[in-house]
Amino acid sequence: MRKKIIPLVKDKWEIDDIRSQEGKVFVITGANSGLGYFSTKVLSSKGAEVVMAVRSMEKGEKAREAILEEYPEASLNLMELDLSSLDSIHQFSEQFKDRFNRLDVLINNAGIMQPPRLETVDGFELQFGVNHLGHFALTGLLLPVLINTGGSRVVTQSSIAHLFGKINFDDINHVRRYGRTKAYAQSKIANLYFSYELDRRLRQINSSTISVAVHPGYTRTNLQKSGPQIGGKSLMSRVYSVIDRIFAQKVEMGSLPMLYASTMDDIEGGDFIGPKRIGRGHPKRIRSNKRSYDLIVAKKLWELSEKMTGIEYQFDQNN
């Protein structure tokens, strides 16, 4: 059943409205660029301890140094995470649990968009493997820490593209027929199925941990170019360059839904936060497409994701 839409506490919410985040630990995937980088900078400026989960340690260190230049007191921890590799996800999770005993907010932000057909190290179609399965695995491995941290939350980045998404269970890795946009849309509606199903399962054990989904609208980041440019510049990447200059909003605005969902007290499990208008604007509580609320598909995808990743979620209240 779809939730009734309740207005947020403030109509035009801004970064200045974020209260102190001192004492809280955040993990942000894809923290070295775009939405992840800006959110890392904002949250660390508010006193949060942020774990920057990045694929490239070199790029991550440059991003970390840039933030420290602006905010010398920022608490930033750089850790390697390649969401296209289950081994890397396991290693990151073990290292995190060795270093931290709490996790207040896990922000599943990193993603790839519309590359040519490629596979992850484990043989998954790259977009489904990184955008959905990688974050599914990461969240499952960090779940005990999240559950043990009172009032924690999982914030998962979806996209407007979910509107066109459908889970192709007969060809989940798009082996028989691959379309860049169709595969991307599948991964983004998968983010929503995962976020909503995770929250339902957390509610079943009366956990104080909640799961929330967000989307940034149409925001100018490297996402639109980096995927299509894999293997060389493409017509699609050139088209995005033009569209971005005309229609895209700045990263500062596109980050607001994710920051709101990560910090505000009026957020509830199962929420979906996005821009007021479909592509841009201040954050508001919105509703995803009807298909994304299908309980049967959500359960089937969950079970398939556990099978594909080899990670079975442990919903143990006594962890």
Over residues 110-125, the pLDDT tens digits come to 999 999 999 999 999 9
| Vertex 18: Cα angle to 14 and 19 (nearest 5) | 155
pLDDT at 234 > cutoff 60: no
Contact between 28 and 53 under an 8 Å Cβ cutoff? The reply is yes
Q: How far is C-alpha 266 from the chain's CA centre?
A: 20
d(CA 150, CA 166): 34
Helical H segments across 17-103, by residue range = 34-45, 57-70, 86-99
Ranges of each domain in the chain: 22-307
Tokens describing residue 181: 């946009």
Which residue type is seen at 196?
A: Y
Residue pLDDT, tens place only, 11-23: 899 999 999 999 9
Helix (H) or strand (E) segment spanning residue 238: helix 235-247
Pick the residue with more confidence: 280 or 260? 260
Helix (H) or strand (E) segment spanning residue 232: none
Tokens describing residue 86: 């289950």
Residue pLDDT, tens place only, 49-97: 999 999 999 999 999 999 999 999 999 999 999 999 999 999 999 999 9
d(CA 135, CA 187): 11
Residue pLDDT, tens place only, 159-168: 999 999 999 9
Residue pLDDT, tens place only, 267-280: 999 999 999 877 78
Q: Sign (positive/negative) of CA torsion 148, 151, 152, 154? A: positive
Which residue type is seen at 49?
A: E
Closest CA to 115 of 223, 236, 222, 227: 227
pLDDT at 224 > cutoff 50: no
pLDDT at 2 > cutoff 60: no
Q: Which residue in 71, 178, 184, 240 is the catalytic one?
A: 184
Average pLDDT over residues 207-219: 92
Torsion of CA 9, 14, 16, 18, to 10 degrees: 50
Q: Is 184 a catalytic residue?
A: yes
Closest CA to 114 of 234, 289, 279: 234
Q: Sign (positive/negative) of CA torsion 241, 242, 243, 244? A: positive
d(CA 191, CA 185): 10
- Beta-strand pair 75-80/105-108: unpaired
Please name the residue that has the structure tokens 């983010």.
191
Fold of 22-307: Rossmann fold (3.40.50)
Pick the residue with more confidence: 219 or 280? 280
Residue pLDDT, tens place only, 172-186: 999 999 999 999 999
